[in-house]
Every structure is written in structure tokens, then in C-alpha cells.
Amino acid sequence: MYTIRKLRPDRSIGMILFPFAAMALIAASGALFGIRAAYAVGGAFFLLYASYSFLTYLRTGNPGFIVVSLFQLSASLVALAVFADPGRRPSRPALFFAACMAFFAVWMILLVVQKRLKWRGREVLELAAASVEQTQNGYTGRPLPVGKTEFNQRQILEFAEFARRHLIAATYVGRDRVAFVPVREGREPAFLLGLKSDYSGETWVSFDFEGNVSANVAQRDYLEYREALSFDKLCESLGNLFVEFAGMFQRGEGVRIIDRLDAVGLSFLA
């Protein structure tokens, strides 16, 4: 079945920029300083990337990133083992780490294909816009009070943990509210590295501990839609989507949330 998307196709190159830059750096160091230097730079790069993946795990609680981190760590150790013992035949440690790397690579590819490592911001934005009609541009930077729910503080915090772990949204837990920020693939580093201490300029849905729900759509995300959608309806729909997700989670139907996100049918790379 062909689905009409409301978002523009993702043409950002942010996701591939870092690996390509690293490969260029490795190649350049190899050309300039020899093959050993290339292994050293590659090892350092993968070690750095492994730290970043582990940080992602710490921030989100998504165990898939441990696998990614272990793959990158193995890759780093292979490079460093070859750097330390540059004989014609690979050393035993290098072979062991290469076997580990292959094992974790297969596991990681499975996780990627299953979208376990995918930030779901695009799916969330697609779902929010699904029932919203086109109209004149009615954008405003103000958030929309969506309504009141019966969720208590514990339930909201549990849902926040779920949303974080399944990469549905980055969460900001305050004294009296939790804000959910759907993050599109490629935009997560700023959230993971703590560069986004203020979420007010982002697309977010907040649940305060008295049950009030508000939603805001950032202009950048609004402009990602192909058409000028009714802005109040879009904010309302986004807020209601999270209220619905929270309700499903409370009923123990978390897996259905993931099914709904998967049903949008975006590629694991989008």
C-alpha cells in the first residue's frame, strides 16, 4: 500500500557526515603518515564513537546502544591491535577482536533493521499530522493547552522512561512536569550531549503533575510538512497522540505504541 507522507523526504546528510569525515581523516592520515597511523586514528575514532554510543545508552536506557558500543569498541581494539603488532599476519588478539566485531555487527544490523535504534521523531510528526487538514499558515510560537488527563506523577515518569528507552522522545523532567521532545534521526547528538538544556524552541508535549497537557510544534518542524497544516489542530493532534500513547502504556500496551510507529512505514534510515 502506498502511503502519502505529510513530511518532506529526509535529505539531511548529518547522519553520514560524521562517519564520512572520520573515513576521510583515516585515509588522509594513512596517506600522509603510513598505514600504522591510519590504524591508530581509526582506533581512536571508534573508541570515541563507542563512548558516544555508551552515553546514548546511559541517557536513554535503550540496551541496543550497548551492542552498538561493543561493536565500536571491538572495531577500535582490532585497529589498535594491528597498530601495536603490524606483522604480515594478524595477531591473535586482533583475530579475537575481529570475531567479536563481526558478532556485534550482525547483532547491530538486526537491531537497526528492526528500528530498535531509530529515533522516532519523524514517525511521531507523521502520526500527529495524519488527521490534520491543510489550511492557511497559522503558525505561532505559543504552545497549545491540549487538555487535562488523570495520570499521576508516577505514571507520567514511567511513561517518560518508556518513551526515552524506545527513542520516541527525549524527556526533560522538571519539578512539576515532564516534557517529551520527539527527536528526528540525525538531530539526537545535541540532546544526548546535553547541548539542549532548554527545550522551549523544540517540538514538545508536556504533562504536568496535575494532569495538564500542552503541546508545541517548532517552526522548523512545521516547515518540514509539505503543506501548511492547521496549526492548532496539529498541536492538538500531537498532544492527543502522546496522551493516547501514555494511556496505552498504562494499560500495558507499550508494544502497540511501537506497532503504531512502525506502521507509519518509514525506512530504518529515515
Partner 1 sequence: MDFKTAAALGACLAKDYAEDFFELLVNYQDLSASEAASRLGLHIRTAQDFLETLASLGIVDQQEVFEQKRPYFRYTLKRRRIVLDLDLGQVRRTRTAGDLAGRVREKANSGARFSLARSGDRIGQVTFWTGEGRERKEHKISLTDPQGLFLYHLPFPNAEPLAIADILHKAGVDPKLAPEILDIVEVLIRRDAIEAGPA
Q: What torsion do the CA atoms of 74, 76, 77, 83 make, to the nearest 10 degrees?
A: 150
Please pick, from the candidates 5, 36, 59, 177, the single residue that binds partner 1 as defined by CB under 8 A: 177
Q: How far apart are CA 93 and CA 164, in angstroms?
A: 37
CB of 168 to partner 1, least distance (A): 20
Compare residues 76 and 206 and give the one whose CB is closer to partner 1. Answer: 206
Compare residues 68 and 235 and give the one whose CB is closer to partner 1. Answer: 235
Our finding on whether 157 is near partner 1 (CB under 8 A) is: no
CB of 216 to partner 1, least distance (A): 9
Which residue type sits at 123? E
Compare residues 85 and 176 and give the one whose CB is closer to partner 1. Answer: 176
CB of 196 to partner 1, least distance (A): 15
Our finding on whether 126 is near partner 1 (CB under 8 A) is: no
CB of 230 to partner 1, least distance (A): 6
Our finding on whether 139 is near partner 1 (CB under 8 A) is: yes
H-type helices in the chain, by residue range?
14-33, 35-60, 64-84, 92-113, 121-129, 153-165, 188-192, 219-222, 231-250, 254-263
Compare residues 50 and 160 and give the one whose CB is closer to partner 1. Answer: 160
CB of 227 to partner 1, least distance (A): 13
Task: Tell me, by CB under 8 A, how many residues bind partner 1.
Answer: 24
Residues 6 or more apart in contact with residue 42 via CB below 8 angstroms = 22, 26, 75, 76, 79
Residues 6 or more apart in contact with residue 49 via CB below 8 angstroms = 22, 72, 76
The span of 48-56, 81-89, 114-122, 175-183 binding partner 1 (CB under 8 A) equals: 175-183
Q: Which of residues 191-230 bind partner 1 (CB under 8 A)?
A: 200, 206, 208, 212, 214, 230
The helix (run of H) or strand (run of E) holding residue 178 is strand 177-181
Q: Which of 167, 158, 145 is nearest to 211 (CA)?
A: 145
Q: What torsion do the CA atoms of 42, 45, 46, 52 make, to the nearest 10 degrees?
A: -170
Residues making contact with partner 1 (CB under 8 A): 135-145, 174, 176-177, 179, 200, 206, 208, 212, 214, 230-232, 235
